[in-house]
Structure 1
């Protein structure tokens, strides 16, 4: 699995959908399989995958007819598709993507300096996400910014920063949820109704 091509565009790691289809050894044609998976699992273009129209070569020349659309998937979408194929190959591919994400996260040596934004400390957003093992390729990356714009700051170079207090609150919320899922449930015992007899 170590030769699956992962490309990076605008800071997002992407997988060629046709290559994934080939690696998964799917029996149906790509042109049937891909739209079916998108519809079935409600993947969104521009968030989960990106389309790019290309021309098919003919005799070594690019021609103006027979266009073909290429699709590039985020790693999260590729992992999910690999998982739903329910094959041993799919499981191996999914595990490969998980390992690649771990390696990417471990390669960060230190957090870049924070900014002072009108008296509040702001942390580099992407580095903060990676440091705390959040995905940078899922839709949550942009959704947080859209939902809570008051806690984000964008520099003139286009780099996003997150309010430190807000970031710490997000971590507490996540850690609280993780703790909640670890709480063992009560044993499910059949409760008997006791009827008191009047004397």
Structure 2
């Protein structure tokens, strides 16, 4: 089939250039007036859309932008037929053949495969983006290294969670992971947290200048706890975004 007018695909829809159709029809009317006369029966952004193209302006290679329109095949067929010329009917018949080829079982299957491949590539990209966080969480779960709650806040910020150390302490107290009552056990893990294996308590002996000795207790997050809180905050963040 000879190509009378170049047909392009835009977002899975076949379109043609209004200027090229105007030229191929051999219309003597100025393009802007022809558009005004012929487009009034059609809907913008459904049957046609406005586009800007470039054209050579002179022999020195200069270019300028000109107004054009991307027409659906259906609209282009109607305009060709409305011209009432032999050329118009020839172009209409050409568009009918283009549509038949586009809707053939082979072409439908080809487009379906292309759509499926795009979805697969999108899923691969999403998996790649999620993989570093998943690998990190899996690795810390088995880790024997404990970290401070302030360090956990930094890790959460690195995973897109906007939270600081003070807010994280407050959240853990509010959610029952840390003891909230004032006293010697303030900010220590609750029994529930210890049963879950989320924290360990590090005890340090401090010898004071007067010779007295005291015990300092520091709450530290286990590898399992790091995974637990990262996953919890990530799910909360996804829910908030969704």
Using structure 1 for the length normalisation, give the TM-score. Answer: 0.49
Higher relative contact order (CA 8 A, sep 6+): 1
Using structure 2 for the length normalisation, give the TM-score. Answer: 0.41
* Higher strand fraction (1 or 2): 1
* Higher helix fraction (1 or 2): 2
Q: Which protein has the larger Cα radius of gyration, Structure 1 or Structure 2? A: 2
